[in-house]
């Protein structure tokens, strides 16, 4: 699901509706806050698009991004 391109991890997630997409984002936000590692993301109706890179490392993909991507996948699995 995740694609590494232009020094970022990218993925899109589809949901039944806006409410489910927003619930997903809320859950991911709490996890990201505990990790102090925040995604660059957008939401249009039932689709959430996420890009991850580590700003402190010069905007490249690091283990922090891969760990957050795995956590996001676990959250998404509960919605699909």
Residues 6 or more apart whose CB falls under 8 angstroms from that of 56 comprise none
Q: Band of the pLDDT at 65, cuts 50, 70, 90?
A: very high
Which helix (H) or strand (E) segment holds residue 57: the answer is none
Eight-class DSSP state of 60? B
Domain 3-79 architecture: 2-Layer Sandwich (3.30)
Residues 6 or more apart whose CB falls under 8 angstroms from that of 66 comprise 9
| pLDDT at residue 46 greater than cutoff 90 | yes
Which helix (H) or strand (E) segment holds residue 41: the answer is strand 40-44
Spans of all domains in the chain? 3-79
Give the global pTM: 0.93
């Amino acid at each position: 699901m995740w694609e590494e391109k232009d020094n970022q991890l990218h993925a899109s997630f589809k949901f039944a509706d806006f409410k489910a997409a927003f619930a997903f984002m809320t859950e991911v936000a709490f996890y990201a806050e505990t990790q102090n590692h925040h995604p660059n993301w957008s939401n249009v109706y039932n689709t959430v698009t996420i890009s991850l890179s580590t700003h402190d490392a010069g905007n490249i993909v690091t283990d922090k991004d891969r760990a957050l991507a795995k956590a996001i996948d676990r959250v998404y699995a509960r919605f699909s």
